[in-house]
Structure 1
Amino acid sequence: MNVDSFWGLVETCRRQAEGRDARLAWLRDELSRRSQMEIVEFQLRLDQVTRQAFHWELVAAAERIFGGRCSDDDFDYSGLWMVGLGREIFGRAVLDPDALADAPEVLALTGRSSKGWGEGWPGWELLDYVASGAYELVSGDLDPCGEEFSAAVRARRGAHVVSRGLAGERWNVRDEAEAARRLPRLSSMFSLRADS
């Protein structure tokens, strides 16, 4: 599975299912119709694509959306969520994080307390486990830790492990002047929480 095939699957999933749970079920079912190698390749492409979001500018964008506080896990899951927004939005956000302001899913969060985001929460942790679930269905591996799948991913990846360090320069999203310069639209859409 190449990157174009990966994105094709993500885009088809967006059209076929509404809501994260339904989309995860659709992806798991679709992947479980494929070979074990294709399932492993899906995970490798997911890892490759989300790695593009490991940039300090996107950390700042996530921090702004989260009101000034964004844990490492929140950031990791927001990258997966960005994948779920589709190739066009993801690609634009990687080049210009402030472009997230154009995404309907981000617009739907504005003016609402994060406590009321519910299904719109800008994180999608479970996307990172959909391939292992499909692999388990195909292989019959019932190991709850997914060791067989993890070993297959490591073997296919080989020595091409990429550092998870962040690119770019870190800056303080709580500096309102800097945030307004770097993320003008997101800064006007999302204010910082008092407790951040």
Structure 2
Amino acid sequence: MTDEAFWLLIERAAEQAGDRDEQAEWLAEELTRLPVEQIVGFQVQLSAHRLRADTWQMWAAARVIMDGYCGDDSFWYFQLWLLSLGRHTFDRVVTEPDLLAEMESVRALAAKPIQTWSPSDWPDWESLDYAAATAHQDATGRELGLERTLLDAGIELPVNPDPADVDWAPGDPAEVAARLPRLTLLFNARVR
């Protein structure tokens, strides 16, 4: 699957009515219309793009947005949510996570206490992680078929966040504020 085809599917899914689960269901349905090789290619592309957001600085940004908490699973799903912002925005924020402070959806989160966030407010898209596997199973009738296909092709995709950039202390408020000044300022002003 080409990069252009991948982003077209992601952006069209994010435009669909309904919550993120319904958007991922739409995406899985669209993927079932493609050749199996394209479904596999979508999963490979998804992993490659998610890895671009797998940095300590992005993890710190997620922690700022989520009021200090962001474990492995939360960060993984946050990375997938970043894709819903679209290709242009994704490319910008993976290069400079502090630019998240400019995003209207992020500013909306900062404008209300985290305790009042609805499930659809949370910056995550967990169900996106399962769209290709669901499509592959629907297209082939093989349970866990995508996983087996990837293994047979010698493709091992990560299953947990594992930032490869320089490790620093994303739990240190002073260092976070120095690296993410706009995002820190925005969320420090959050109504509690």
TM over 0.5: yes
Structure 1: segments with no counterpart, 5+ residues = none
TM-score, with structure 1 as normaliser: 0.86
Aligned AA (2:165): G
Q: 1:190 to 1:100 in 2, by over 3 A?
A: same
Aligned AA (1:153): L
- In the other structure, the counterpart of 2:3 is 3
Deviations 1:19-76 (A, max 9, x none): 3133112201110111111111110100111011111111111111111221111111
1:149 aligned to 146, 155, 159, which one?
146
C-alpha distance in 2, partners of 1:96/1:106?
Answer: 15
Aligned AA (2:166): E
- In the other structure, the counterpart of 2:99 is 99
- In the other structure, the counterpart of 1:171 is 168
1:130 aligns with 2:127: no
> How much does 1:159 deviate?
5.5
- Which SS does the other structure have where 2:188 is aligned? coil
Given that 1:10 and 1:84 are in contact with CA atoms closer than 8 Å, whether structure 2 keeps it comes out as yes
- Which SS does the other structure have where 1:122 is aligned? coil
Given that 2:150 and 2:156 are in contact with CA atoms closer than 8 Å, whether structure 1 keeps it comes out as no
Given that 1:43 and 1:153 are in contact with CA atoms closer than 8 Å, whether structure 2 keeps it comes out as no
Cα root mean square deviation, aligned = 2.3
Q: 1:165 to 1:31 in 2, by over 3 A?
A: same
Given that 1:68 and 1:173 are in contact with CA atoms closer than 8 Å, whether structure 2 keeps it comes out as no
Question: What is the identity percentage for the equivalent residue pairs of Structure 1 and Structure 2?
Answer: 38
C-alpha distance in 1, partners of 2:53/2:163?
Answer: 9
Aligned AA (1:53): A
- In the other structure, the counterpart of 1:22 is 22
- In the other structure, the counterpart of 1:66 is 66
Q: 1:97 to 1:113 in 2, by over 3 A?
A: same
C-alpha distance in 2, partners of 1:34/1:96?
Answer: 34
Given that 1:101 and 1:107 are in contact with CA atoms closer than 8 Å, whether structure 2 keeps it comes out as yes
> How much does 1:135 deviate?
1.1
TM-score, with structure 2 as normaliser: 0.87
Given that 2:53 and 2:79 are in contact with CA atoms closer than 8 Å, whether structure 1 keeps it comes out as yes
